[in-house]
Amino acid sequence: MFQVLPQPIEDILRVLEYWDHILAGFLTTMELYGGAIVMGFFLGLLLALLRQYGGFIISRIATGYIEFIRGTPLLAQLFFIYFLPYSMNAILEAQGLFPIPIGKWSFQTDIIILDRIITYTIFDHRMLVGLLTLALNSAAYQAEYIRGAIKSVGTGQLLAAQSLGMSRLASIRHVVLPQALRRVIPAWSNEAAYLPKYTVVVFFIGVVDLFGKAHFIVANIFRTLTTYCIIALIFLALITIISKVLDFVHKRTSIPGL
Amino acid sequence: MLRIVDGWKSYGDLQVLKGVSFEVGEQEVKVIFGPSGSGKSTLLRCINMLDPLDKGEVHLREQNLMAPGINLNAIRARIGMVFQHFNLFAHLKAIDNVSIGLRQVKKLPKEEARAKALEMLNRVKMAEWVDHYPAQLSGGQQQRVGIARALSMEPDVILFDEPTSALDPELIGEVLQVMLDIAKSGTTMIVVTHEMGFARAVASEMLFLDNGVIVERGTPQHFFVSPKSERVKQFLKQLDILYGSHKELLKRSNEEESK
Ligand SMILES: Nc1ncnc2c1ncn2[C@@H]1O[C@H](COP(=O)(O)OP(=O)(O)O)[C@@H](O)[C@H]1O
Ligand SMILES: [Mg+2]
């Protein structure tokens, strides 16, 4: 018997039967997102500082990195990092050297909630490649936001700090950055809201994130539209919360009178 | 105490300072004035090594600041700077603007730094405003905090770069009053300003800088009574229009009318 009339409620319940998979996928997505945004922030901060204050050569290297990352597809970066160790192994083996043990290690854990056992892959080589790619990519974008904020603070602040006898580094650390990091929040929110959606590229290297789980559910019960709508709503909710939180942080950290 | 000998400075093709030499004695107040773009700000930045000279010497208490390997941070801690646009640290309260140098450079403990900063804010009559952020203060108040910040380091000399020229006219007085007070308390000062009343009150010598050269120097009396060069006369005439009794302005507009 073919399904003649749409049965939205039944379809939704049918998909939600897979809540344990959706939860595992969500955790994976969050792990990628959280890891990439944090690592990307620190690397981005470093890149921004090097680009802004690094002097002729170093600032050019930082600029080159940023432009390269922003100018090439994320998917290409992902594949590059994913396949790089395999290519290297071919060389290492030809030289009679010990190859990189790809995929030899993987940390999994069973999470038991209600009647379900969720086998969750905390970390494996695919996750590592995904995290690394997303962090290296996000860093370039975050660096540009941070640098914009640093520039907007102005050189007068740095001059004033140095005129007190503070070193350049101390001046940047205690005077420029506290202001730049406050100012960067609105622009940085863009990156924080984009990145969860970009994490889905890891699907292509076999990481089963929220998107991968959607694929899995569809393959099992063929509720394509319903499944992807639910996944989309989860992303929507996540990004709404992130935006609200960052708005709140921005208000709380704003400088009185400005 | 502070001596600059044959200072030269250029930015690219633009020669900004062309052999500037002068000396400031202990507790002396030196006023530098001259047209916009003549290199006054550059000269001050060269003195405290924020942007060192290309050629020439700067000596502070017989120490050659241009000597290679010298610790510039330590030198700058001994030379205070007050900026035209105040440059207060926007994210810090008035009190923290003043204590940050004491904490970060002099490494004073928190309480001691705070007490000292309060004392400095008191000196510039800003004790009531310690917990205000710069954006919550008027320009005159901000500049007084800026002066307190420079004073807090107990520098050998304080450089003022047009400290009142970004202020609304009614706020200039309070800043000049504070500057007069600290000048009279024996602080060595180099002041770039066009406030001739201030110069007359405390300057021991005035330098007229034009095009990177000290064109003329002398006491305030000398400049107000018998300036030598045409350039200075012309400039002072313009100042009289801007800052003076407006006699000149009235005279000119009368002349225009009678035409
Ligand atoms: N950092 C700089 N880079 C390039 N040119 C500069 C710089 N600082 C000042 N100048 C130039 O040097 C000249 C003198 O500037 P400045 O010392 O600010 O003059 P003043 O303070 O007397 O108005 C100006 O023509 C200005 O454009
Ligand atoms: Mg100037």
Angle at A117 between CA A116 and CA A123, to 5 degrees: 140
* Domains within chain A, CATH numbers bracketed: 31-207 (1.10.3720.10)
R_g (Cα) of chain A, nearest Å: 23
Q: CA-to-CA distance for A63 and A60, rounded, in angstroms?
A: 5
Distances (CA, A) of B123 to A149, B139, B174: 35, 17, 12
Average pLDDT over residues B206-212: 95
| Confidence tier at B244 by pLDDT (50, 70, 90) | low
DSSP characters for B189-227?
A: EEEE---HHHHHHH-SEEEEEETTEEEEEE-HHHHHH--
Q: CA-to-CA distance for B144 and B73, rounded, in angstroms?
A: 24
> Helices marked H in A95-223 — which ranges?
125-153, 155-163, 168-171, 177-198, 210-221
Contacts of A164 in chain B (CB under 8 A): 76-77, 100-101, 104-105, 149, 153
Is residue B186 lining ligand 1, measured as CB closer than 6 Å?
no
Q: Nearest ligand to the C-alpha of residue B38?
A: 1
Model pLDDT, residue B243: 61
Q: Whose alpha carbon is nearest atom 27 of ligand 1?
A: B37
> E strands, B87-156, where?
none
Q: Nearest 5°: phi and psi at B30? A: -110, 130
Average pLDDT over residues B31-38: 94
Question: How much helix, strand and coil, in percent to the nearest 5, is found in chain B?
Answer: 45, 25, 35
**Nearest CB to B50; choose among A162, A182, A255:** A162
Is residue B25 lining ligand 1, measured as CB closer than 6 Å?
no
Q: DSSP secondary-structure letter at A204?
A: G
Question: Tens digit of pLDDT for each residue in A26-60?
Answer: 999 999 999 999 999 999 999 999 999 999 999 99
Q: Is A155 on the interface with B (CB under 8 A)?
A: no
Contacts of A156 in chain B (CB under 8 A): 83, 85, 87
Taking a 5 Å cut-off on Cβ, the residues next to ion ligand 2 are B 41
Contacts of B149 in chain A (CB under 8 A): 160, 164
Q: What is the number of other CB atoms lying within 10 angstroms of the CB of residue A8?
A: 11
Which atom of ligand 1 lies closest to the CA of B212? Answer: 14
Q: Is A170 on the interface with B (CB under 8 A)?
A: yes
Q: DSSP secondary-structure letter at A98?
A: P
Averaged pLDDT of chain A? 93
Model pLDDT, residue A136: 98
Averaged pLDDT of chain B? 92
Angle at B192 between CA B188 and CA B194, to 5 degrees: 125
Model pLDDT, residue A108: 86
A102 token code pair:
């790809």
> Helices marked H in A54-114 — which ranges?
55-71, 74-94
Question: β-strands A116-124, A106-113: how paired?
Answer: antiparallel
Report the first-to-last Cα separation within chain B, whole angstroms. 55
Burial A9-39 (b: 16+ CB within 10 A, else e): eebeebbeebebbbbbbbbbbebbbebbbeb
B139 token code pair:
């320009």
| Confidence tier at B154 by pLDDT (50, 70, 90) | very high
Question: Tens digit of pLDDT for each residue in A55-107?
Answer: 999 999 999 999 999 999 999 999 999 999 998 988 888 888 888 888 777 88
CB B2 within 8 A of CB B24: yes
Question: Tens digit of pLDDT for each residue in B170-200?
Answer: 899 999 999 999 999 999 999 999 999 899 9
Q: DSSP secondary-structure letter at A223?
A: -
Q: CA-to-CA distance for A36 and A78, rounded, in angstroms?
A: 13
Q: CA-to-CA distance for A79 and A93, rounded, in angstroms?
A: 21
DSSP element (H, E) containing A106: strand A106-113
Interface test with B, best of A157, A163, A179, A253 (most B CBs within 10 A): A163
pLDDT at B245 over 80: no
Does B89 contact A255 at a Cβ distance shorter than 8 Å? Answer: no
Average pLDDT over residues A142-153: 97
Q: State the complex-level ipTM.
A: 0.90
Average pLDDT over residues B152-176: 94
Q: DSSP secondary-structure letter at B7?
A: E
Model pLDDT, residue B53: 94
B219 token code pair:
């006491």
Nearest partner of B39 among B13, B15, B23, judged by Cα: B15
CB B79 within 8 A of CB B60: yes
Question: Tens digit of pLDDT for each residue in B101-138?
Answer: 999 999 999 999 999 999 999 999 999 999 999 999 99
Question: Tens digit of pLDDT for each residue in B58-68?
Answer: 999 989 999 88
Q: CA-to-CA distance for B182 and A173, rounded, in angstroms?
A: 32
